[in-house]
Amino acid sequence: MEYDVCIVGSGAGAGPIIFELSKAGYKVLVLEKGPWLKTEDFSKDEMTATRRDAYTPRLADECHVIEKKDDGGRWSKESTAESGKSLWNGNCVGGSSNFMSAYFHRLKPKDFKLFTEYGEIEGANMVDWPISYDELEPFYTKVEEVIGVSGKVVPHKHLEPRSTPDFPYPPLATHMVSEWYIEGGKKEGFNVIPVARGIISQPKDDRKACYLSNYCGSFGCSSDAKGSSRAALINKALLTNNCEIRPNSKVFQLESNSEGIVTNVWYYNEKNEKQQVSAKIVVVAAQAIETSRLLLMSKSEKFPNGLANNSGNVGKNLIFAGGGAGSGYIDYADIQEPELSKFKSPATFVNQSLLDFYEIEDPTFNGKAKGGTIDFLIEHSAPMPKARTAKMDGERILYGSELKTSLHNYFTKQKKLRFEIFCDWLPNDDCHVTLDDQVKDKWGDPVGKIKLGFHDQNIKVGNYLANKAIKVMQNIGAKKITYSITGNPPTNLMAGGCRFGNDPAISVLDKNCKAHEVANLYITDGSFMPTGGSVPHTFTIYANSFRVAEKIMAHLQNMQP
Amino acid sequence: MKEEINRIKKKQIPDLYQNLTTWETNRRTFLRGALLTGALTQISLFTSCSAELEKGNDLLTSEQATILTNVIDVFFPDDGNGPSAKDINAFGYIMWVLHDSLGRSTEENDYILEGIQWADDTAQELYFKPFVELTDEEKKALIGIFTDLDWGKNWSSMIIFLILEALLLDPLYGGNINEVGWTWLNHTPGYPRPTEENRYERIMEKQLKLKA
């Protein structure tokens, strides 16, 4: 049987395509390399979610090779099977959207034209997007309704134009420290504002409202309130009977003919047998690194350097979220009753951010520069990271009674408050995906080699923002404030590698996310992004995928005999 | 003794275990796992019969088991402040971890066994008697030396982290008996908690395609 569409992957980039095309009556096949975990498979079990590899491939079976500069400035490479530093994020139906924290910020209009707005930056491959904010706005609105976004729109100087006055779901309940952050900001003249979450605060269809488990990011959702691709889109697509999910199906090659059309999708099934399937249109959404890897592995006579890669752009300009994080502690001894009892609440949602510095106007940046986002948080509820911090005194490892005292103090006498900084990870020639020429996965295929070079501007902007965040932390009485802005990427926030653009010489995809060089190939995960904005990418990946779903349906209509 | 300690300092940490921070912070465990099917059928053994296991078992001789018990008692003592290593069944939990063939390798376990052997060898070199015959003070002193050395610090850190897992992970895995760890630290767990149907091994079997 030939399907209308075969989609490789089932996360945030795939979900809208699956949902929209199934609803429209097209026959959709989804090949997902991981297992099909259902809502009942998820619990708030730290062992499963964070202490072991139960949601991601075992690195002995499937690893990556990371190439980084050492302290001496020399590039060296190491397999993640050796280092333990996994680049996998969620290997199951719904992908890593099952485990996201779902901080949903829209990009701002200027994010679509960084080159025009801020000019060239030496050592960075800055370009404008081939679409504008206005073209994506209706799809952000669609995500807010279909995925379900909760929050409250308030005026601020970087508020993007909206076609609706507010989010469809009211804000989630937050810890009292949320108000402290607002007041702490006011003392500096900062406008600390609510953050939207891709989590529903009221029931929607068969999804229940968020029940505030306090175990959100890194954990699967047990009420389906979190807007994962699986809970919000795939489960609905299945009701149409037009959608087939094949879990445990690892795609390893997209076979193409001499006309540059993908004719067969090859994959290993759960018995590791080679299988093939064909579809009129093939969509790849395997998360940035694996999407580029699959194209690079799919060589043919017409594409000797990998599918859609005669221009040599596949894998280039990989980006992450730049920035870092910081923290400080509030001692219970500094708070009086009855406030103290409220403060001790295990609630962890804060949902406040500072966007005043999304654009920086400062002489140290020669006038105007792109800034970023500060999100304010409380330490995650999971106890193991807390215990890990408590077992050290600087470089000294604690044990015995000293360890027990430290643990007890950490857990019962204070609360750790955090902030996270998001700035643009400037695309550059030293951050890309290629195929490693030595290391193979368990099927004998070359693994992705990821070069992780970063631009110094990331660090400069990150530090600028961190200093603003620290002022807020100081104003609310946080002690022992520390922060870290580094060139180490957050491995769960990756994009780029197959940027879209109008010029086929410098981009892989056209403005509709169809490969310039391949007539029936679309890429709908974060790979399309030439720049990532100064926010987590998921909201934009969802919105763009809804946009591209319309393009694919138009394409299919034109293909009808 | 100084000369002996200097010699011990030269002991190398295998490459695989250099990056302990990653093992602790990431969601990932280290390492390549050799799949030994069937080992997990023994779960109940580790959760209910710690005293029996401490007499020796399929992985540890009775002497090795005693050394490990002594070491974890020093790392997490019965000092009147919260539960002891025994109260959280740290030994039984570590035995469960050592038998986890889904997420761990024999190589990883060998490292734990090497540390036990080191303790015994060093007791012989410094005190001229086996570890199990040391006085409590001598054991503490030896472990103090151990945690000061690169290799020993790395090994100790791994063992202590396993003790902390026994303290703080769900009692389903054999530690944290009667939620004593959570109660001591005023910790509120997340709900739903894991069940026999969705505990780590069941999800891992799906991830590894051992079960659909």
What's the pLDDT band for B36 if we cut at 50, 70, 90? very low
In a domain, B18, yes or no: no
| Contact criterion met (CB below 8 Å) for A530 and A127 | yes
Q: Answer whether B27 sits within 8 Å of A49, measured CB to CB.
A: yes
pLDDT tens digits, A177-209 = 999 999 999 999 999 999 999 999 999 999 999
A431-440 and A392-393 beta bridge pairing:
unpaired
Residue whose structure tokens are 């149409």: A240
pLDDT tens digits, A116-127 = 999 999 999 999
The 10 Å CB-count burial string (b at 16+, else e) for A324-337 is bbbbbbbeeeebee
Q: Answer whether A384 sits within 8 Å of B195, measured CB to CB.
A: no
Provide mean pLDDT across the span B46-58: 66
In a domain, B27, yes or no: no
Which helix (H) or strand (E) element contains residue A82? helix A80-83
Residue B148 confidence (pLDDT): 84
Residue whose structure tokens are 């080699």: A449
What's the pLDDT band for A385 if we cut at 50, 70, 90? very high
Question: Which residues of chain B does A381 touch, with a Cβ-Cβ cutoff of 8 Å?
Answer: 188, 190
Q: Choose among B26, B182, B188: nearest Cβ to A84.
A: B26
pLDDT at B46 over 70: no
Q: What is the DSSP string of A465-499?
A: HHHHHHHHHHHTT-EEEEEEE-S---TTSEEEES-
DSSP A317: E
The ipTM (two decimal places) reads 0.95
Residue A440 confidence (pLDDT): 98
Residue B16 confidence (pLDDT): 45
pLDDT at B87 over 90: yes
C-alpha R_g of chain A: 23
- Rounded to whole angstroms, what are the CA distances from B111 to A311, B14, B105, B115, B118? 49, 9, 10, 6, 10
Treating both helix axes as pointing N-terminal to C-terminal, what angle do B136-146 and B106-127 enclose, rounded to 10 degrees? Answer: 120
Q: Which three-class secondary structure string do you get for A401-420? A: HHHHHHHHHHHHCEEEEEEE
Residue B103 identity (one-letter amino acid): G
> How much is the mean pLDDT over chain A?
97
What's the pLDDT band for B18 if we cut at 50, 70, 90? low
Q: Answer whether A213 sits within 8 Å of B160, measured CB to CB.
A: no
pLDDT tens digits, A435-475 = 999 999 999 999 999 999 999 999 999 999 999 999 999 99
A262-268 and A446-452 beta bridge pairing:
unpaired
What's the pLDDT band for B13 if we cut at 50, 70, 90? low
Q: DSSP 3-state assignment of B156? A: helix
- Rounded to whole angstroms, what are the CA distances from A257 to A115, A260, A298, A517, B147? 37, 5, 11, 12, 62
Question: Which residues of chain A does B167 touch, with a Cβ-Cβ cutoff of 8 Å?
Answer: 387, 407
Report which of B153, B154, B195, B186 is spatially closest to residue B168, judged by C-alpha positions: B186
pLDDT at B212 over 80: no
pLDDT tens digits, A65-82 = 999 998 888 999 999 999
Q: DSSP 3-state assignment of B62? A: helix
| Contact criterion met (CB below 8 Å) for A93 and A35 | yes
- Rounded to whole angstroms, what are the CA distances from A28 to A62, A253, A525, A548? 27, 19, 17, 15
**Domain CATH code at residue A222:** 3.50.50.60
pLDDT at B42 over 70: no
Burial class (CB in 10 A: 0-12, 13-18, 19+), B50: buried
Residue B37 confidence (pLDDT): 30
Report the sign of the C-alpha dihedral through residues A18, A23, A24, A25, in that order.
positive
Q: Choose among A81, A85, A408: nearest Cβ to B81.
A: A408
Q: Choose among A54, A81, A381: nearest Cβ to B204.
A: A54
Report which of A489, A560, A555 is spatially closest to residue A524, judged by C-alpha positions: A555
Mutate to test the interface with B, among A36, A51, A392 (most CBs of B within 10 A): A51
Question: Which residues of chain B does A52 touch, with a Cβ-Cβ cutoff of 8 Å?
Answer: 27, 29, 102-103, 200, 204
Residue A85 structural domain:
2-559
**Of the candidate ranges A87-96, A544-553, B115-124, the one whose mean pLDDT is the lowest:** B115-124
Question: Which residues of chain A does B105 touch, with a Cβ-Cβ cutoff of 8 Å?
Answer: 60
**Of the candidate ranges A13-17, A137-141, A509-513, B58-62, the one whose mean pLDDT is the lowest:** B58-62
Report the sign of the C-alpha dihedral through residues B110, B112, B116, B122, in that order.
positive
Task: State how far Cα B99 lies from the chain centre.
Answer: 11
With pLDDT > 70 as the criterion, what percentage of chain A qualifies?
Answer: 99
What's the pLDDT band for A271 if we cut at 50, 70, 90? very high
Task: Measure the CA–CA gap between A58 and A63, rounded to whole angstroms.
Answer: 8
In a domain, B101, yes or no: yes
Provide mean pLDDT across the span A507-530: 98
Q: Closest approach of chain A CAs to the CA of B27, in angstroms?
A: 4
pLDDT at B32 over 50: no
Task: Measure the CA–CA gap between A309 and A316, rounded to whole angstroms.
Answer: 10
Residue A445 confidence (pLDDT): 98
Residue B149 confidence (pLDDT): 82
Residue B30 confidence (pLDDT): 27
Task: Measure the CA–CA gap between A104 and B189, rounded to whole angstroms.
Answer: 26
Q: Answer whether B29 sits within 8 Å of A84, measured CB to CB.
A: yes
Q: Which two tokens stand for residue B182?
A: 């959570």
| Contact criterion met (CB below 8 Å) for A15 and A232 | yes
Provide mean pLDDT across the span A304-326: 97
Residue B43 confidence (pLDDT): 45
Q: Closest approach of chain A CAs to the CA of B176, in angstroms?
A: 13
pLDDT tens digits, A98-143 = 999 999 999 999 999 999 999 999 999 999 999 999 999 999 999 9
DSSP A106: P
Task: Measure the CA–CA gap between A374 and B189, rounded to whole angstroms.
Answer: 28
C-alpha R_g of chain B: 18
pLDDT at B153 over 70: yes
Residue B9 confidence (pLDDT): 46
Q: Answer whether A248 sits within 8 Å of B212, measured CB to CB.
A: yes
In a domain, B17, yes or no: no
Angle at CA of residue A513, ends A509 and A518, nearest 5°: 55
Residue B146 confidence (pLDDT): 84
Residue whose structure tokens are 């070359």: A446
Report which of B124, B129, B14, B27 is spatially closest to residue A46, judged by C-alpha positions: B27
Residue B15 confidence (pLDDT): 47
Give the ranges where A172-327 is alpha helix by DSSP (H): 177-186, 229, 235-238, 288-297
Residue whose structure tokens are 């699956």: A18
Task: Measure the CA–CA gap between A542 and A100, rounded to whole angstroms.
Answer: 13
Neighbours of A392 (CB within 10 A): 13
Q: Answer whether A85 sits within 8 Å of B28, measured CB to CB.
A: yes
Provide mean pLDDT across the span A519-523: 98
Report which of A285, A237, A277, A278 is spatially closest to residue A21, judged by C-alpha positions: A237
Q: What is the DSSP string of A498-561?
A: S-B-S-TTT-SB-TTSBBTT-TTEEE-SGGG-SS--SS-SHHHHHHHHHHHHHHHHHHHHHH--
Q: Answer whether A52 sits within 8 Å of B29, measured CB to CB.
A: yes
B186: left (phi over 0), alpha (psi -120 to 50) or beta: left
Report which of A479, A523, A476 is spatially closest to residue A499, judged by C-alpha positions: A523
Task: Measure the CA–CA gap between B159 and B168, rounded to whole angstroms.
Answer: 14
Q: Closest approach of chain A CAs to the CA of B174, in angstroms?
A: 12
Task: Measure the CA–CA gap between B75 and A135, rounded to whole angstroms.
Answer: 60
Provide mean pLDDT across the span B173-197: 97
A352-354 and A372-378 beta bridge pairing:
antiparallel
Residue B40 confidence (pLDDT): 37
pTM of the entire predicted model? 0.94
In a domain, B19, yes or no: no
| Contact criterion met (CB below 8 Å) for A491 and A287 | no
Residue B41 confidence (pLDDT): 37
Question: Which residues of chain B does A46 touch, with a Cβ-Cβ cutoff of 8 Å?
Answer: 168-170
| Contact criterion met (CB below 8 Å) for A481 and A326 | yes
Q: How many domains does chain B have?
A: 1
Task: Measure the CA–CA gap between A367 and A355, rounded to whole angstroms.
Answer: 18
Task: Measure the CA–CA gap between A165 and A240, rounded to whole angstroms.
Answer: 32
Q: Answer whether B165 sits within 8 Å of A40, measured CB to CB.
A: no
In a domain, B9, yes or no: no
With pLDDT > 90 as the criterion, what percentage of chain B qualifies?
Answer: 53
Which helix (H) or strand (E) element contains residue A42? none
Residue B49 confidence (pLDDT): 56
Task: Measure the CA–CA gap between A511 and B147, rounded to whole angstroms.
Answer: 58
Report which of A517, A556, A545 is spatially closest to residue A257, judged by C-alpha positions: A517
Residue B54 phi, psi (nearest 5): -70, -15
- Rounded to whole angstroms, what are the CA distances from A405 to A82, A141, A457, B163, B175? 35, 50, 42, 15, 20
Q: How many DSSP H helices and E strands does chain A contain?
A: 14, 22
Q: How many domains does chain A have?
A: 1
Report the sign of the C-alpha dihedral through residues A84, A88, A92, A96, in that order.
positive
Residue B79 structural domain:
33-207
Residue B160 confidence (pLDDT): 96
